[in-house]
Amino acid sequence: MPSLNPSQSSLVLAGGLGRLQAQSDAATARVSSGRRIDRPAADVAGAGMAAKLDAQQARLRGVQVNLQNGVSRMQVTFGQLDAVGKIVSRMSEIGALNANTTQDSVSRGLYQVEFTQLQDQLRQMIGGTTAQIGGPADVEPSATFNRTPLFGPGSGETFTIGLQSDEQLTLPALDLTLGDIGSLIRQDASGAYTANLADPAISSTLAGAIGQASDSLASVGAVQSRLEAAGRVAQTASTNHEAALSVIRDADVAQDVTALSRLQILTEGHTAMLAQAREASAKLISLLSRN
């Protein structure tokens, strides 16, 4: 006697249709989200690697910010040092003009007035305490970056320029309160500068100050060059990490759309065959009912 239960083929068709639907849902989720890994269970190893790459990307973003700040710091420092060098060069020129024996005392006095004004400008840029540069009071420097003096004492700031903990760079310490430039801005307790055009050693002091400014410019330029190179390295590493993350996480839209189309065709075929199987069962029930 024929059975009224669904046939074995109907069960197979129904099971296959369920599996196709699950695959279709997964492909649809990947296409709609653009993610190959929509949950950690989809790729355990890939999810772990993506988490590590995410952490490295975050660190690289911090490194890039450090490098940008460092480059900005060096640009400001270079500009201020260039101004210091021009001031010292003008002071040296004034010293040469003052040494002309044909100049009268009035002209020499005017040279000294300009020389003192330039000393005031240098002192204001460099700043310093009375213990460092003398004078009646401490001077707040005008040459600063983010409220940090550029030309005061210190070992220079150290910051990270790469992913590894030992990838660090220390900015050059440019203490212009010392050396020949420091000698030009040093004052006694009354506020008078100890260096002036009447000083027999002023030519030597000015020559040394020009050399100090030039050496400082060279060290700043060298550090700036390294910062820019490190910035290119960090940008390349960030691009490579992003590409690796894309391979792990991002869905292959073309592949998934093709698979989705194939699954839709198979689903339609299974649905049609399952409908036919059910129709056959219904016809059998109808015939039995008539009998």
Mean pLDDT of 109-133: 92
The one-letter amino acid at 82: D
- The C-alpha torsion from 220 through 221 and 223 to 228, rounded to 10°, is 140
Mean pLDDT of 244-257: 64
Question: What CATH number should be reported for the domain holding residue 164?
Answer: 1.20.1330.10
Task: For the full predicted model, state whether its pTM sits above 0.75.
Answer: no
- With respect to residue 216, please indicate whether it lies within any of the assigned structural domains: yes
- With respect to residue 256, please indicate whether it lies within any of the assigned structural domains: no
The mean-pLDDT minimum among 9-18, 167-176, 215-224 falls in 9-18
Domain carrying residue 187: 73-229
- With respect to residue 130, please indicate whether it lies within any of the assigned structural domains: yes
| Residues 230/162, Cβ–Cβ less than 8 Å | yes
Across the chain, what does the average pLDDT equal? 78
Q: How many domains is the chain partitioned into structurally?
A: 1
pLDDT tens digits for 28-69? 656 555 565 665 555 667 667 777 877 888 888 888 888 888
How many CB atoms sit inside 10 A of residue 103's CB? Answer: 14
Residue 75 CB partners (closer than 8 Å, separation 6+): 224
The one-letter amino acid at 287: L
How remote is the C-alpha of 11 from its chain's centroid?
60
Residue 170 per-residue DSSP state? E
- With respect to residue 85, please indicate whether it lies within any of the assigned structural domains: yes
Residue 4's pLDDT band, with cuts at 50, 70 and 90, is very low
For residue 180, give Cα distances in angstroms to 13, 185, 241, 255: 94, 9, 49, 71
Which among 147, 172, 167, 169 is positioned nearest to 158, based on CA atoms?
A: 169
Is residue 250 scored above 90 in pLDDT? Answer: no
